[in-house]
């Protein structure tokens, strides 16, 4: 975590008295923040995410997207603390993004069947200030997920639910996709899209602990 002097510290003190801003349209991330009682509002980032270059390292890709989302929203919200996040699914060193359609979703799930993969979520916190928006902290969390062996019939039935089509890797562990997963090593919430403990610990480091919003 980087601190940037007294002026930023004073602005951060004020920002912590107001609801956090979530720079994401993901209902799953919003549900997780609400679950643990963090007061927040949603301001989805309009940042266009470039597809990763061939051979790109997954962690830096996720971190770059999370950072970009946080800073783009913070630029329009002076005096507010903004959270950006990005999740990638990694198999054999390659990033599996959101499938383009049912066919690609089926192919992703066939590749994941019976195998272990990684889910990496990067989070970034930025302090709003127009062109002077400041990145305060960023973290990455990795979780290992093991799929059971899936039949083509199971894969096709799951894809027919529509659930995989807007999710990295083509599945959602918090929905019907729970039946695809044999085991998880690491943070479950990270697989859903937001590592709650890491987010909470970073908020406390920034000064959120013990703060009554609206004081």
Residues serving a catalytic function are: 86
- Return the sign of the alpha-carbon dihedral for residues 35, 38, 43, 45: negative
Nearest-angstrom CA–CA distance, 77 and 79: 6
Show Cβ contacts of residue 106 under 8 Å, excluding neighbours closer than 6 positions: 152, 155, 156, 159
Q: How many CB atoms lie within 10 A of CB 17?
A: 13
Q: How far apart are CA 40 and CA 175, in angstroms?
A: 24
CB 45, CB 73: distance < 8 Å: yes
């Amino acid at each position: 975590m980087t601190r940037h002097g007294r002026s930023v510290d004073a602005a951060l003190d004020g920002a912590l008295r107001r609801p956090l801003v979530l720079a994401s349209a993901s209902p799953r991330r919003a549900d997780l923040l609400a679950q643990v009682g963090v007061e927040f509002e949603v301001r989805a980032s309009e940042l266009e995410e470039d597809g990763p270059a061939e051979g790109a390292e997954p962690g830096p890709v996720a971190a770059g997207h999370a950072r970009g989302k946080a800073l783009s929203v913070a630029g329009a919200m002076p005096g507010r603390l903004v959270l950006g996040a990005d999740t990638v699914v990694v198999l054999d060193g390659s990033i599996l993004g959101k499938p383009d359609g049912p066919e690609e979703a089926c192919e992703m799930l066939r590749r994941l069947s019976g195998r272990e993969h990684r889910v990496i979520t990067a989070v970034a916190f930025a302090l709003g200030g127009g062109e002077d928006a400041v990145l305060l902290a960023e973290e990455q969390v990795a979780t290992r997920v093991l799929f059971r062996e899936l039949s083509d019939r199971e894969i096709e039935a799951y894809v027919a639910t529509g659930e995989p089509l807007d999710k990295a890797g083509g599945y959602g562990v918090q929905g019907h996709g729970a039946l695809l997963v044999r085991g998880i090593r690491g943070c479950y919430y990270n697989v859903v899209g937001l590592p709650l403990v890491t987010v909470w610990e970073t908020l406390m480091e920034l000064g959120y602990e013990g703060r009554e919003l609206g004081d």
